[in-house]
Structure 1
Amino acid sequence: MYNKYQVGSKTQISRLESVVHDAEGTRIQVSVPNKIVGMFARKVKEGEVYQIKNFMVKRNVGKFRVTNHIFKIELTMKTMISDLMQPTFPKAIFSFKPFEEIKAMQTAAEEPLFDVIGVIVGKGFVKNDTDAKMVELKLEDENCNQIYCTLWEDYVDMFLNLVDEGEMRVCSSNNASKVYLHADIEEIESFRKKS
């Protein structure tokens, strides 16, 4: 979950956004308009399983889409959310994209959000001021392919002390991305063993 702010503001929330998935890994965007954010922000917790009823379905159009699903969900005043106790429901489903495929992409709009996994092997440009924070990291996959990954805002501080040092790059989507560092996740353990 992440807050989407009014244009030009870092404090005025326009919407609460989330990307959810079903048991098969199909991702869809969920939007909560500003006027009802308070109804849902405290009810839901990232990583939990919920049943959602009485929502609107809209076409997923626009320049900054976070999923490639043709629809998105918008919660309303009549939306009902309830906890589901399903311990076997997959909490994290990844859609890893090989670095070579990323480099071959013509535009970032080809696939809005995808996952990458790699070892941090260097640091690029850093901007850390009051207007914006960003850091470029150089990642390497198990085949020694390298790509830059740009992280924004809160992720900058997390990484600045951990790294030493015209092409397509991957980039965190402000607060929409989830970054795992030394996490106990099966895919990360498998990657570590290959590297």
Structure 2
Amino acid sequence: MTGQFIVGAQLHPQQTSKAIRLRCVRSYVVTENRGQKQIRSQECVFHDQEGIFIHVHIPKDIVATYQNMFKEGKVYGIRNFLCITNFFKYKTSTHRYMIKFKHDTVVKQYQRVNFPKTMFRFKSFPDILSKKNVDEKVLIGKSLTGCIHI
């Protein structure tokens, strides 16, 4: 892909001059301890135009800048970010790398953009029960309809 945007497959720590366009799947705040209000970080799960899921980590010292910015289902362009190894034990993405925001990360919401909507990663019940093609460290959830998605 040429131009100013890269896709998730091109995400690498040495790729520092390009931006990435992503759709927000989930955004949530992590507190210091259960039941407390002190924020440790904001975490987001996005997907790119090829359906690759990417985790975004926003450290506590800059959460206030981005806390109310991301809406699930909306498309954003992000630039001036760090690409780091996905260090979480339990992952929201199988991608080797994740995006970490820094103080000068720029985010722009796109209103009219032709962008796929891949909000779920479905697995069949037989695969889950037999643990075939299922990474136990990737978080999954159950929707209200009873389908399991990761």
Is the TM value for this pair above 0.5? yes
SS of the residue corresponding to residue 110 of structure 1 reads coil
The higher-RCO structure (CA 8 Å, 6+ apart) is: 2
Residues 29 and 41, structure 2, Cα contact 8 Å, conserved in 1: yes
Consecutive unaligned residues in structure 2, runs of 5 or more: 1-26
Aligned pairs for 1:10-159 (under 5 A) are 10-105=36-131, 109-110=135-136, 112-114=138-140, 119=145, 139=146
- Runs of at least 5 residues in structure 1 that lack an aligned partner in the other structure: 120-138, 142-169, 178-195
Distance in 1 between residues matched to 2:131 and 2:76, nearest whole Å: 35
TM-score, structure 2 as length reference: 0.69
Q: What is the number of equivalent residue pairs in this alignment?
A: 123
3-state SS in 1 of match to 2:127: helix
* TM-score when normalising by structure 1: 0.54
Choose between structure 1 and 2: higher helix proportion: 1
The 4+ residue runs of structure 1 with deviation greater than 6 A are: none
Equivalent pair of 2:30/2:41 in contact (CA under 8 Å): yes
Which letter maps to 1:68? T
Offset of residue 33 of structure 1: 0.6
Q: CA deviation at 1:13?
A: 1.4
CA distance in 1, matches of 2:142, 2:123: 6
Identity %: 30
